[in-house]
Structure 1
Amino acid sequence: MGSSASTPAAAANPSNASDHQPPSQCPMHEGKKKGCPVSAVASDPSSESKEHSVPAHQDRAYEYVECPVTGAKNKENLDPSNLMPPPNQTPSPDQPFALSTSREESSIPRADSEKKWVYPSEQMFWNAMLRKGWKWKDDDISQKDMYNIIRIHNQNNEQAWKEILKWEALHAHECPCGPSLVRFGGKAKEYSPRARIRSWMGYELPFDRHDWIINRCGTEVRYVIDYYDGGEVNKDYQFTVLDVRPAFDSFSAVWDRMKVAWWRWTS
């Protein structure tokens, strides 16, 4: 598979992503500041309501606090922020064991809100997999497995956000309060050009892909995240190697990618 550096940090092994964080004085470590121009770009009320309304699965999330899976057939019922239908905390009819409905708060700021994104519960994740067509009877799965799956899911998202913050550190001067997450979606079978080029070179294709849209103080920026199998799950529930980078949607993103490539080449 090979290593895939995904951030401005000149790391040879991206699986050590959590070891490379912005310095303590970096604005990425700070919470939202009062008066910070997160929503500086003006927009009409109808557009704002459509793009930044509280996602259905986040609306009452904190009632359960102690990913996104797509596949619902009725597109009209999907939450546009993450392509998820409304949350379902009810056990399925033939479910073999009880699952927790508790949800964990992430460290990821939610756009146009003082709150943060909240991860799905074990029950929500189970129901989401069923909607995708998963047949639990075909797998030897237990309560402990579901517990571990949720921990891995949450850790992957935390790791992805840390990688995004490293890229966003390049723009700390223009957005001192740091970015927030607007929406995201899975594109497992829509391989990115970078992933395809790597596969032509003999490396394996990623097992998943997400596109995350962040708000950089009024500017929306898309990040592409490719997920590669990193081997055994460690004690921190990390096994995924992430390749995170801004999409080539703007000159700014192209310039960031060029700068980082040069730094890696000359380091």
Structure 2
Amino acid sequence: MGQSVSTFTDAAQCSIDPTSLKAVSCPVDHKLPSQSSAQCPVDRKTLPVSSPLQTPAECPVDHSSLNQMPALSQGRAPSQTLELPTARTESSILRDSASKWEYPSPQQFYNALVRKGWETPEEHVETMVEIHNFLNEQAWQEVLKWEKRATDNPTDVQLARFKGRPGELSPKARFWLLAGWLLPSRFNTEPPFDRHDWVVRRPSTGEEVRYVIDYYSAPPEPDGSPVFSLDVRPALDSFASLKERIALATEDVWAEFRENKP
């Protein structure tokens, strides 16, 4: 919970090194008390060394307003040479009591890339979509871990709406960038490559809670596999969220104190 590390390797296994986050996860040393790993859905053996996945940027789908999912064309781009799938994958994220969110199809994803002027080999688009979906699924799992602390039935919570805010640094991201400027030998100065704000609805109470998600890239594995790190936490805009953030940050300290207490 909090800082979550996701990496893509030939063995499809995500690596985590809680003692050295600067080395394999987030480029700043967050020292959060809990980490999570996940299985990679992509076979890295099929990707060339020059794959653009090694230099990730913000999500190409424009989520700049709280409009859930924008209308994306399923038509071929003017200069497109390969046929891309138009089928959309259903996520595990509840949209309401009767449906789940769907991810953009590879064709929609490619159209979003073209609209932003990003040059992307068409043969890699399907893999990029898998990574895009994988990261968001991991973000949702981190949200559910937080929700488990606050509600009796976290499996019922829904993603009511979301907003992409690339280029807008959260206060926490600014703090770690400042730490990197003051102590460059210990902290990295790379900002998150993307940010999302997710508003989660708790059906049992009707309450809505905003979560902030910072997406980081880190130095790749020796085999060239990219590494990503997610920092997922409730926004500090309510007393309940502030209380949960403080409780999580101090849990390990109090546990160690109780164990060592005479």
TM-score by length of 1: 0.67
Residues 105 and 176 of structure 1: CA distance in aligned 2, closer, same or farther (over 3 Å): closer
Indicate whether 1:196 and 2:174 are aligned: yes
2:213 equivalent to 1:225: yes
Distance, in Å, in 2 between the alignment partners of 1:264 and 1:156 is 27
**Aligned counterpart, 1:119:** 103
Match of 1:167 in 2: 146
Query: 1:37-48 counterparts in 2 under 5 A?
Result: none
Structure 2 residue 114 is the aligned partner of structure 1 residue 130: yes
Partner of 2:157: 179
1:94 counterpart letter in structure 2:
S
Cα distance change of structure 1 residues 176 and 169 upon mapping to structure 2, 3 Å threshold: closer
Distance 1:234 1:244, change over 3 A: farther
Asked if residue 146 in structure 1 is aligned to residue 138 in structure 2, the reply is no
1:104 Cα deviation from its structure 2 partner? 1.1
User: Structure 1 residue 68: deviation in Å?
Assistant: 6.7
Determine the C-alpha separation between the residues in 1 that align with 2:199 and 2:241: 13
Unaligned runs of 5+ in 2: 1-26, 40-58, 181-187, 257-262
Aligned equivalent of 1:109: 94
Asked if 1 retains the 8 angstrom alpha-carbon contact of 2:197 and 2:213, the reply is yes
Give 1:1-267 correspondences, 5 Å limit: 1-4=27-30, 10-11=33-34, 14=35, 16-18=36-38, 69-70=61-62, 80-82=67-69, 84=70, 86-111=71-96, 113-134=97-118, 136=119, 141-143=121-123, 145-173=124-152, 175=153, 178-202=156-180, 203=188, 204-217=190-203, 218-232=206-220, 239-266=227-254, 267=256
Shift of 1:105: 1.1
Distance in 2 separating the partners of 1:162 and 1:97: 34
**Secondary structure class of the residue paired with 1:221:** strand
Task: Go from structure 1 to structure 2 and tell me whether the alpha carbon gap of 1:172 and 1:238 turns closer, same or farther (over 3 Å shift).
Answer: farther
Matched-pair contact (CA < 8 Å) for 1:209–1:225:
yes
User: Could you say what the CA RMSD is over the residues aligned between the two structures, in angstroms?
Assistant: 2.7
Tell me which stretches of 4 or more aligned residues in structure 1 moved more than 6 Å: none
Question: Structure 1 residues 177 and 71 mapped into 2: Cα distance closer, same or farther (>3 Å)?
Answer: closer
- 3-state DSSP class of the match of 1:103? coil
Give CA deviations for 1:215-265 in whole Å, capped at 9, x if unaligned. 012111100000111344899x97320000000111111111110111143
Q: 1:212–1:222: 8 Å Cα contact kept in structure 2?
A: yes
Cα-to-partner distance string for 1:144-170 (whole Å, 9 max, x where unaligned)? x11110110000010000000000001
1:201 Cα offset (Å): 0.7
- 1-side partners of 2:131 and 2:202: how far apart? 27
Structure 2 counterpart of 1:91, one-letter code: R
Q: How many residues get paired?
A: 199
Identity %: 41
One-letter code aligned to 1:185: K
Residues 1:179 and 1:213: Cα distance change in structure 2 (over 3 Å):
same
Distance in structure 1 (CA, Å) of the matches to 2:88 and 2:221: 22
AA partner of residue 134 (structure 2):
Q
Q: Give ranges in structure 1 of 5+ residues lacking alignment.
A: 20-66, 73-77
